[in-house]
Amino acid sequence: MPAASVSRREAWLRRLPLLPALVYVVLVTQIPFLMTIYYSFFSWNLLRPGSFRFTGLDNYAALLADESVRTAVLNTVVLTVCAVAISVVLGLGIAVLLNQEVFGRGILRTLIIGPFLVMPTAAALIWKDTLLNPLFGLFAYLLTPFGLGRTDLVNQFPMATIVAIEVWRWTPFMMLIVLAGLQSQNLEVLEAARVDGAGALQSFRRITLPFIRPFVELGALLGSIFIVQTFDSIFMMTQGGPGEATTNIPFLLYLVAFQGFSIGQACAIGVVAVILTMIVASLALRTLFSIFQVERR
């Protein structure tokens, strides 16, 4: 039915089922975000009643001048880039491995997705206490022959520890996405390449890699969006420390909003975080839409 013949009544009937969800999302995400922007122009501390006062761009100026904000941005970038890069490479490798004719492929996949399904809070506790504790942890015992026993790994290499745990958690995610891509590949093309005399490595680079590229990109982008928000493992393992060594933007926001109760400051951080995230997110959306070719119907 051509769009022009759809009457106004019909158009509203079509919109009706959409409205509850749309209204809900606008109410709970868009209006609060507008309020975040509004509050970011005020100086307001919940611990000091009556401190609500318009200060213009002061909060933003303070952010630019604040050393710990710069540290948090840097930490966020380091954590996200390292964790995403390593987990994409590992996930790709494991996916290719599981795509071979290995014994017990189903069980292998089941085991590997374990880390992704385990509640991050619980996982962080298990890592911190039973594995990495310098006195009673398993790693301390295993590393003793190498002269590294009793080393407090979390304290000495805080950022590396957080990156390692995020890699452990997100590699299975990347693996699942890439493996799913590999399994949707047309095997006849590979077979034809083999008949034409292409080596395994050559056909992987020329045929398989370009085919799964969108899946790798999707994994990397979705992973970035989630890993930028890392909070659980930092809260549980390092509390942003030692010093500010592992304070990223979400943890800084938590400190400013819920330890300092500086509403204006926290909102300014929120606005900056949204702008930074939107850059990555718009790339993610473009990839997503290109995989789906959204106007299918």
Partner 1 sequence: MKTGIAPRLLWSTVAWLVALIFFFPVLWMWLEALKTEPQAASSPPTILFTPTLQEFQEVLSFDFPPFFVNSAFASIASTLLVLVLGLPAAYALAIKPVKKARDVLFFFISTRFLPFAASLVPLYLLARDLQLLDNIFALVIIYTTINLPLGVWLLRSFLLEIPTDLFEAARVDGAGFLSELRRVVVPLIAPGIAATSLICLIFSWNEFFYAVNFTSSVAATSPIFLVSFISGRGLFYAKLSAAATLATLPVLMAGWFAQKQLIRGLTMGAVK
Of residues 95-114, which lie at the interface with partner 1 (CB under 8 A)? 97-98, 100-104, 107-114
**Counting Cβ atoms within 10 Å, is residue 245 exposed (0-12), middle (13-18) or buried (19+)?**
middle
Work out which of 77, 198, 229, 245 binds partner 1, going by CB under 8 A: 229
Dist. CA 232–CA 183, nearest whole Å: 33
Work out which of 156, 184, 202, 239 binds partner 1, going by CB under 8 A: 184
Dist. CA 85–CA 71, nearest whole Å: 21
| Nearest-5° Cα angle at 224, 262 to 91 | 145
Ordered alpha helix ranges (H), 127-183: 138-143, 153-156, 158-183
Dist. CA 32–CA 38, nearest whole Å: 10
* Residue 148 C-beta: closest distance to partner 1, Å: 14
Q: Is position 120 an interface residue for partner 1 (rule: CB under 8 A)?
A: yes
Q: Is position 172 an interface residue for partner 1 (rule: CB under 8 A)?
A: yes
Among the residue ranges 52-60, 78-86, 151-159, 284-292, the one whose residues contact partner 1 (CB under 8 A): 284-292
**Counting Cβ atoms within 10 Å, is residue 264 exposed (0-12), middle (13-18) or buried (19+)?**
buried
Work out which of 2, 5, 9, 29 binds partner 1, going by CB under 8 A: 29
Q: Is position 39 an interface residue for partner 1 (rule: CB under 8 A)?
A: yes
Dist. CA 84–CA 171, nearest whole Å: 9
Work out which of 17, 50, 147, 210 binds partner 1, going by CB under 8 A: 17
Q: Is position 89 an interface residue for partner 1 (rule: CB under 8 A)?
A: no
* Residue 223 C-beta: closest distance to partner 1, Å: 11
Q: Is position 297 an interface residue for partner 1 (rule: CB under 8 A)?
A: yes
Work out which of 62, 73, 78, 131 binds partner 1, going by CB under 8 A: 131
